[in-house]
Structure 1
Amino acid sequence: MSIEINLLPEFGWSIKNQPVYGPGSVFQGFVKLNASEEQLQKAERLRIVFHASESTYHSGYASPIYNQQLFGTQKILWKTKGHQPPVNITPGTDISIPFIIQVPMVQFPPSANVISEGDGLSYHSNFVLSAYLDQDQDKTNIIKTHKSIIYMPFIETSISKKPVHITTIDNTDNNSPESTPFVHVNMSSLDYVLGDTINISLDINNIPRKSIESISTKLYQIQTWNRTSKKDKPLKNEKKLKHLISQNTTKHHSIEAITQCRVNTSLDVPVDGLPTFTYGPVFSLAYILQISIKRKGKLWSYDFDLPDISIKIGTLGYGIRSSEEIQFYSTFKNVFERQSEGDSSSSSTSNTTAVALPVPRFLDVIEYEESLPVYTDDRLPMYETAIKRHHINCIM
């Protein structure tokens, strides 16, 4: 006996063949149930729940240091009595009951499981569909199943109107201004989407080409933790951690002594990574690009490190704009906070009203062969009548 949740194929956004949903998405699927006669005799209802939560953990605590349910909404798919329209479930037979869910126009955090092992911190943002075959109230579920889905916010990107040029001077050597090494970094943009390739061109000056051993490019994820203990308030000085997510080292072999050259390199942005995420109350993500030139010295090699370059990782391609209706989830009170505030301030004279966070909603499943209304004469005049009227008007 089994229960499972299946989502219908999507022809839009996907990551490694897994559908991705965002603000305003509408997705559909069905709950497939095969229950025994004994289970059906105990069963009272079949329901599906869509819920999401955000939490952070610290290795020094057994329970989460922060845990917030973003939303939770459910729909009854079948009941033993009084369910409309009626659904017949036969013991030992597969039955599929469809559902449709619409996500609100809200920027939630991306689906994420971020772990900083060295510091014992982890952040989790989960969006889960759950199906339950329930017994009478206050009893355990007969069968249940869970299915995680991938949610991504709409993060816009834009291409630079002019090429990006960044100049760095190496002042480590006591050279004259005319012979001081410097590098021009040339890039087409500072915004990229997941799966993109960052193409970089370096114009190197006053560095002998034969002294260059390699050029290293690294993309770091900057994690900002606003809460690392079980305090009610976020930290005044947040904790920032750096995590390497992509790197590329280009070996350089040359015997030329020329001191000016152009070197091209590139770096891939992981397709299954996370976008720039800066609107969370307890955790956020940003990205920096680091470029380093390894040079041969008289005794040993040393690195010429260029300054960090801030990079934005988005989810929408260049020029694609999201709806102006979309709002950040962190600007709302969730349903549970609003209820508790309402209870505690019922006698208060305050005029401020907390706006509740919109939650996903279940839509009615439409049978497409019956979706068009039945034609009646009172909607439009009969064709013959319209012709006669036109003919009479022409005569008059």
Structure 2
Amino acid sequence: MTLEDIKRRRIAMNQSDISATVKLSAVEYIAGDTIQATVYVTEGQKKKSKRSLTLNDLSISMRVYQISKFNLDEKPILSQLMATNTYILKNNKLDNDENKMTQVHQVSLELDEELAPSMEYSQIMSLSYKLVISIHKTIYNKTDNPVPHPKFLQTIEYEDALPLYDSSRLPLYDNLSRSNICAE
């Protein structure tokens, strides 16, 4: 299996000042091999108010597709997912200066031992593979607006038990029901 990609490729996300560089250990693999990649995620900070990347802010997804196509057609006749793996990134700082912060992550994807090799059937048809590495921001962030504890609970006092009953915290339902009866 040959990956039609250069060894280093840089992808920039235009929404925020985040970019990623992927470095593959090889571009040719056989069935049963493990694709290993090093991903460098860099965030350049334009404003000091912007927060930097933190734990669980990003996830990496690796997918290998088998592509079958007729050589005369531009679109493939079949594109089938063969292997996938997803990682939640841990904060692993490599370089941290005033303008940029870089995280380094090792990811891998094991290929099935029964994959057919890349090949071309004369000038009629070809079978190839495509590696897709995508980086996504996760929807959860531990540092942004943590859920506050209810005001009537003290964090340490009721950690393993329910709070003690106190009737002063409850609304007075008797007054509400009597006023509804009188109004009718």
* TM-score (normalizing by structure 2): 0.57
Q: 2:10 aligns with which of 160, 167, 173?
A: 167
Q: Per-residue CA shift, 1:118-144, capped at 9, x if unaligned? A: xxxxxxxxxxxxxxxxxxxxxxxxxxx
Which structure would you say has the larger RCO, counting Cα contacts within 8 Å and 6 or more residues apart? 2
Kept in 2: contact 1:209–1:261 (CA 8 A): no
Larger Rg: 1
Kept in 1: contact 2:57–2:140 (CA 8 A): no
1:288 maps onto 2:130 in alignment: yes
Q: Per-residue CA shift, 1:345-367, capped at 9, x if unaligned? A: xxxxxxxxxxxxxxxxxxxxxxx
Q: 2:117 aligns with which of 250, 256, 275?
A: 275
Q: 1:199 aligns with which of 36, 51, 68?
A: 36
Change (3 A) 1:268 1:280: farther
Match of 2:22 in 1: 185
- Cα deviation for residue 289 of structure 1 reads 0.5
Q: 2:68 aligns with which of 203, 209, 223?
A: 223
Partner SS, residue 55 of structure 2: helix
Distance in 1, matches of 2:8 and 2:74, equals 31
Match of 1:214 in 2: 59
- Cα deviation for residue 184 of structure 1 reads 1.0
- Cα deviation for residue 170 of structure 1 reads 1.1
Distance in 2, matches of 1:280 and 1:269, equals 26
- Cα deviation for residue 213 of structure 1 reads 4.1
Distance in 1, matches of 2:56 and 2:136, equals 9
Kept in 1: contact 2:59–2:138 (CA 8 A): no
Residues 1-396 of structure 1 aligned to structure 2 (within 5 Å): 164-171=7-14, 173=15, 175=16, 180-206=17-43, 208-225=53-70, 236-237=72-73, 239-240=75-76, 241-253=78-90, 259-296=101-138
State the one-letter code of the partner of 1:274. Answer: A
Percent identity at matched positions? 27
Give the total of aligned pairs.
123
Kept in 1: contact 2:9–2:23 (CA 8 A): yes
Kept in 2: contact 1:276–1:285 (CA 8 A): yes
Kept in 1: contact 2:10–2:21 (CA 8 A): yes
Partner SS, residue 120 of structure 2: coil
Distance in 1, matches of 2:34 and 2:140, equals 36
- Cα deviation for residue 237 of structure 1 reads 2.8
* TM-score (normalizing by structure 1): 0.28
